[in-house]
Amino acid sequence: MTTILLGPQRFTTTVQAVLRGLGGDGPVAVVNAGWEERESDDGELRGLLDDRAVNVSLYQRAVELLGADHELRAAVLEHRARHAELRTYYGIRLQAAWDTVFAVRRRSSTHGLAESALQSAMQALRDVDDWYAYEVARIVETTATSQVVLASEGLAQHRREVGEILERAAVVVVAGGHVGILMETLRLLDVAIPTHTPVIAWSAGAMALCDPVVLFHDFAPQGVTAPEVHDRGLGRLRGVIPLPHARRRLALEDRERMAVFADRFAAHHLVPLDDGTVVHFADEDAGRAGRAGRAGRAPLPDGTRHVSLDGAIVNRESS
């Protein structure tokens, strides 16, 4: 199950070299629904993929479906509304729990209570994430099993077509863009990438391959400033949380903040994906993940940069 995560491709393009390094030929299925209306504007990407690209057109398919099937559109809008309301409650609880962790960390104890208090505060923070993840799963399940979704002939047809394109593909490429739209279209079209097919992904595409999808921006002008669990990903790489544009979006020099981030997701590898980054998870890594504990956390390839529990960016050393 070869999976390759790349840094952003806007300024430093590595996808062509990585694709050629895989060898072989055959069609390259492109998933770039996160580009939204620009999905079909893929000429530059096609060139980088040696003109082997077949655009899966998830966004276009979704627009056509929702324009023609009003009941399906209503179900999708209801899903969005429920998710948006859940995120509002989550944001309130998350920011309070996040701030509490830092307040506890910065308070001294004369009776040896600091460590216990901090552990409890961290667990409360994780509990908020777990509650949100549980509620997201309920919303997803409710929509997926609704009669409207199950009965839509148009949706079934598009799902079959998407499945056929992915089955014929020699490689699948998942580009960046708006991660929320990308996840919505992946789920609506019931995208399942064959495990034997190599995948190359970056930015929002890298996030979508993993589970959970975590949003982060330490320099956001307003709203929740804590990293947020946003959605369930495809789960192709378990126990990995990609951090695209880490240098631009994270206060990497703030070791305390980064340590809390890492401790909060201690069962995951936090992997910065900056310009020029290439992280290659090979077939043997997937096999080791399947035999590993902690929900099959994928082992990091040697040399991979990740966030340590003390908040430093370190390289994965050879085992």
Distance from chain centroid for Cα 17? 23
CATH H-level, domain 3-69+152-315: superfamily? Class I glutamine amidotransferase (GATase) domain (3.40.50.880)
Q: What is the reported pLDDT for 294?
A: 43
Q: Quote the DSSP letter at residue 4.
A: E
Amino acid at 253: E
What separation in angstroms does the CA of 156 have from each of 15, 33, 74, 163, 223?
Answer: 32, 19, 17, 10, 38
Residues 6 or more apart in contact with residue 214 via CB below 8 angstroms? 207, 227, 228, 229, 230, 241, 265
Instruction: Determine the pLDDT at residue 318.
Output: 62
Lowest average pLDDT, out of 5-19, 44-58, 278-292, goes to 278-292
Pairing verdict, β 228-231 and 213-215: antiparallel
Q: Where are the domains of the chain?
A: 3-69+152-315
pLDDT per residue as tens digits for the range 262-318: 999 999 999 999 999 999 998 655 444 443 434 467 889 999 999 999 999 999 876
**How many CB atoms within 10 Å of residue 18?**
18
Average pLDDT value for the chain: 93
**pLDDT tens-digit map of 155-214:** 999 999 999 999 999 999 999 999 999 999 999 999 999 999 999 999 999 999 999 999
pLDDT for res 132: 98
Q: What single DSSP character describes residue 36?
A: G
Asked whether the beta carbons of 262 and 297 are under 8 A apart, the reply is no
Q: What is the pLDDT of residue 292?
A: 43
Distance from C-alpha of 314 to C-alpha of 303, rounded to nearest angstrom: 9
What pLDDT was estimated at residue 289? 45
